[in-house]
Amino acid sequence: MAAKIIDGKKVAASIRLECKARVASLRERTGVVPGLAVILVGDNPASALYVGNKVKACAEAGIRSFRRQFPADIDADTLIATIESLNHDPTVHGILVQLPLPEHIDMRRVLKTIDVAKDVDGFHLYNVGGLVVGDTIFPPCTPYGVVRLLEYENIPVEGRNVVVVGASNIVGKPMALMLMQREATVSICHAKTRDLAQFTILADILVVAAGKPNLILPQMVRSGAVVIDVGINRLPDGRIVGDVDFEGVRQKAAYITPVPGGVGPMTVTMLLFNTITSAERTAGIASRAVVKEEVLLEPEG
């Protein structure tokens, strides 16, 4: 039997409705309007498109957005100064730097400048550490979106074999950590993995985020597996596809996400979600004390 197709657009739309209601309620109760600052460096068309989508999604949810655009040759210090000023701006609850940055800018330094309490993308070192120890401050948006899709479909994670293909800092690694936190047995594969299929065939839940079209073929997937395709690839003929042979694998899997229309719509949605959570924390509504870095770094004894 063909797999059930997980409709990311539908799930995202229902979470966005929930977001809109949270924004309205926060505003009514406290006068606080969630604000997201989006920083774009350079003129990469894909990045400009993603930023445009984020700004539009904010407007639809009632979130105020602040777009800061810089030329590709901006110096790192100017960028850092902008982030520092946004850190101190009480109308800004989330700060996002659209990646990738030009090569001359040290991405780690930039990401570390973002106030942990406003790091709604979840890429600050402190946030990553929180994920590792199971004390998440802001879950990174794409893996968070995947978790919400699994929850929506009532797909159990505990005790299942999960294989994550792709080990990047923004998708693969946090994805693996989030599913491990939910008691799955997780393997992570990457470009140097020998014989990828020997791992993927064991997966009850297979999450693929490699950026390689047709990487996952039907013979690499267990019958009845859940297949989540995070990949976004533009083919020479202009079509957008994922990393999974969708038509082949859907004949074998129990669930599968399409590309487009699967994980993609969830990423922006979870960004809105995190931004609202941040504003609610500022207003004292959402519980989640953010421990400051200085505390963590205090010498023992």
If one asks whether residue 166 binds ligand NAP (CB under 6 A), the answer comes out as yes
Q: Is 191 in the site for ligand NAP (CB under 6 A)?
A: yes
| Neighbour-count burial for 181-195, b at 16+ CB within 10 Å, e otherwise | bbebebbbbeeebee
The Cα 8–Cα 3 span in angstroms is 15
CA dihedral 39, 261, 19, 135 (to 10 degrees): -70
Q: Which of 30, 69, 168, 187 binds ligand NAP (CB under 6 A)?
A: 168
Asked if 260 interacts with ligand NAP (CB under 6 A), we say: no
Residue closer to ligand NAP by CB (options 26, 209) is 209
Residues near ligand NAP (CB under 6 A), total: 26
Residue 117 CA to residue 90 CA, distance in Å, equals 12
Q: Which two structure tokens, joined as six digits, stand for 183?
A: 């008691």
Q: Please identify which residue in 210, 227, 256, 276 interacts with ligand NAP, judged by CB under 6 A.
A: 210
Give every CB contact of residue 135 below 8 A, 6+ residues apart in sequence.
Answer: none
Q: Residue 163: name the closest of 147, 127, 187 by CA.
A: 187
Q: Tell me, what DSSP letter sits at residue 202?
A: T
Q: Does 34 bind ligand NAP (CB under 6 A)?
A: no
Smaller CB separation from ligand NAP, 269 or 278 = 269
The nearer residue to ligand NAP, 92 or 207, going by C-beta atoms, is: 207
Binding track, positions 217-256, relative to ligand NAP; x by CB under 6 A: -------------xxxx-----------------------
Establish if 67 lies at the interface with ligand NAP (CB under 6 A): no
Residues tagged active-site: 54, 98, 121
Q: Which among 19-27, 67-75, 84-92, 184-192 is the span making contact with ligand NAP, rule CB under 6 A?
A: 184-192
Handedness of CA 72, 138, 13, 168 (dihedral sign): positive
> What's the rounded Cα separation, in Å, for the pair 218 and 208?
14
Q: Which residues bind ligand NAP (CB under 6 A)?
A: 142, 165-168, 170-172, 189-193, 196, 209-212, 215, 230-233, 263-264, 267
